[in-house]
């Protein structure tokens, strides 16, 4: 992530990536990929039958019945979302803040993107009353709002939207004729899976929701790009899937055969894959909790992280101390904290938040160690926060915030 893009270059290529795990690749997946590395055939656009069948099994185990003809796969979440948006006409609405890569996808297609405030208790899902007001305003201005993007387990805020909030937002969207694209990349990274209720919009509005999931959220490494989408079981869903496949074909966004084999294995969720996902989520939960404690101790604000490998901090209460250091907006805050902590700390403006708001996303992956050996030790240790490399990284972060008290 480049902190400030030169004026003669667009900012898209310098946007922050999704929070990575910071952990070595699961050896079992490495073996599966290696065994398939000699395959010369390519997957068809939308994914082959084995990959789509495995995606159906993944969703069935989460209470979402699916058939292979309702599933499409692509070489990463970005081209898949681009194809999905392209398959629907009209303007796009999304919460503020939102993942850094959403808005560029919409604007690349020449569509207007409208951001809707989120409720106080969570991010990722628009406030239903604000959503209704935004839809009416856009229509009054001659726009055609047709799509709503949301994420019940959210990047950048690391929150999980309460079921009643999801229901109200979905009812408001469907009532206004919007189709919903639900990004559920982070649903398998819950910090307290037995205490947190995650409800997919597709469970409430099955005919009006398309799900997208980047497998790098919990199952595969980010360097193996593969994402899957689940379409509604309707005639309209079948038409939109066909249109999405047209886009994927034109983009050449097909999954490489060896990666498709590894992704199929991961989606089948054998014991080692499940164990790694659970241990990784627990590790990031412990580190995120410690980061959250440091943020609050300094007088800043942050919702308790509930999912993912990050949290979203609001340093607005420390504005006067930051101003003394020449920090007056999120761009300057990004540079300041990135220098102090020693790893990228993207500002809220990267997530379409207000530039003047002093908000940043803090990732936990960089705190797990600088070498594969250290990261593996962080994963397997019964007391990861006491490891010298983790404790040292947390100390640097804590000091950066303590200086602002």
Query: pLDDT value at position 282?
Result: 98
Dist CA 142 CA 144 (whole Å): 7
Phi, psi of 85, rounded to the nearest 5 degrees: -65, -40
Q: What pLDDT was estimated at residue 17?
A: 86
pLDDT, position 76: 96
Q: Kindly list the strands in the beta sheet with 209-214, ordered across the sheet, starting from the edge strand earlier in the chain.
A: 71-74, 227-230, 209-214, 179-183, 145-150, 91-96, 113-117
Q: What is the pLDDT of residue 15?
A: 75
Closest C-alpha to 228, from 15, 7, 58, 404: 58
pLDDT digits (tens, 9 = 90+) for 287-343: 999 999 999 999 999 999 999 999 999 999 999 999 999 999 999 999 999 999 999
- Residue 108 β-bridge partners: none
Tell me the sheet residues that pair with 71: 230
Picking from 35-44, 94-103, 233-242, 365-374, which range would have the lowest pLDDT averaged per residue? 35-44
**CA–CA distance, 209 with 287 (Å, rounded to integer):** 33
Q: How confident is the model at residue 2 (pLDDT cuts 50, 70, 90)?
A: very low
pLDDT in the model for residue 5: 46
- What global pTM score does this model have? 0.94
Residue 13: the pLDDT is 64
**Residues of the chain with pLDDT > 90: what percent?**
94
Residue 7: is its pLDDT beyond 80?
no
What are the backbone angles phi and psi of residue 103, rounded to the nearest 5°? Answer: -60, -45
* DSSP per residue, 87-150: TS-SEEEEEES--TTHHHHHHHTT--EEEEEPPTT-SSS--HHHHHHHHHHHHHTT--EEEEEE
Contact 345, 224 (CB under 8 A): no
Six token digits for residue 240: 């939109």
Establish whether the linkage from the previous residue to 287 is cis, with ω within 30° of 0: no
SS3 at position 73: strand
pLDDT in tens, 340-390: 999 999 999 999 999 999 999 999 999 999 999 999 999 999 999 999 999
Tens of pLDDT, residue by residue over 113-135, are 999 999 999 999 999 999 999 99
51-81: pLDDT as tens digits: 999 999 999 999 999 999 999 999 999 999 9
pLDDT at 9: 38
Using CA atoms, how far apart are residues 167 and 147, in angstroms rounded to an integer?
A: 17
């Amino acid at each position: 992530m480049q902190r400030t893009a030169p004026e003669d270059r667009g900012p898209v290529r310098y946007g922050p990536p999704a929070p990575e795990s910071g952990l070595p690749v699961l050896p079992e997946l490495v073996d599966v990929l290696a065994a398939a590395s000699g395959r010369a055939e390519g997957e068809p656009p939308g994914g082959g039958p084995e990959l789509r069948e495995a995606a159906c099994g993944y969703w069935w185990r989460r209470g979402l019945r699916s058939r292979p003809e309702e599933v499409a796969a692509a070489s990463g979440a970005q081209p898949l979302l681009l194809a999905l948006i392209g398959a629907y006409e009209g303007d796009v609405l999304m919460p503020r803040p939102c993942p850094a890569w959403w808005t560029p996808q919409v604007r690349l297609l020449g569509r207007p993107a409208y951001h809707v405030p989120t409720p106080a208790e969570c991010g990722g899902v628009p406030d239903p009353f604000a959503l209704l007001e935004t839809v009416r305003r856009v229509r009054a201005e001659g726009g055609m709002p047709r799509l709503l993007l949301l994420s019940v387990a959210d990047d950048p805020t690391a929150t999980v939207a309460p079921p009643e909030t999801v229901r109200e937002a979905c009812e408001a969207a469907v009532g206004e004729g919007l189709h919903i694209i639900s990004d559920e990349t982070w649903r398998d990274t819950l910090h307290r899976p037995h205490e947190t209720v995650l409800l997919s919009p597709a469970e409430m509005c099955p005919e009006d929701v398309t799900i997208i999931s980047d497998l790098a959220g919990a199952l595969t490494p980010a360097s193996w790009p593969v994402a899957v989408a689940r379409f509604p079981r309707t005639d309209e869903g079948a038409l939109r899937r066909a249109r999405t496949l047209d886009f994927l074909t034109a983009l050449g966004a097909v999954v490489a055969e060896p990666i498709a084999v590894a992704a199929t294995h991961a989606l089948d969720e054998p014991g080692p894959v499940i164990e790694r996902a659970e241990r990784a989520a627990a590790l990031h939960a412990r580190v995120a909790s410690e980061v959250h404690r440091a943020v609050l101790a300094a007088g800043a604000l942050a919702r308790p992280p509930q999912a993912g490998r990050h949290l979203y901090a609001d340093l607005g209460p420390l504005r006067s101390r930051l101003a003394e250091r020449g920090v007056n907006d999120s761009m300057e805050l990004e540079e300041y904290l990135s220098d102090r902590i020693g790893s990228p700390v993207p500002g809220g403006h990267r997530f379409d938040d207000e530039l003047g708001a002093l908000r940043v996303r803090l990732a936990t992956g960089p705190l797990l160690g600088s070498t594969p050996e250290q990261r593996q030790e962080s994963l397997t240790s019964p007391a990861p926060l006491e490891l010298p490399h983790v404790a040292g990284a947390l100390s640097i972060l804590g000091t950066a915030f303590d200086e602002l008290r």
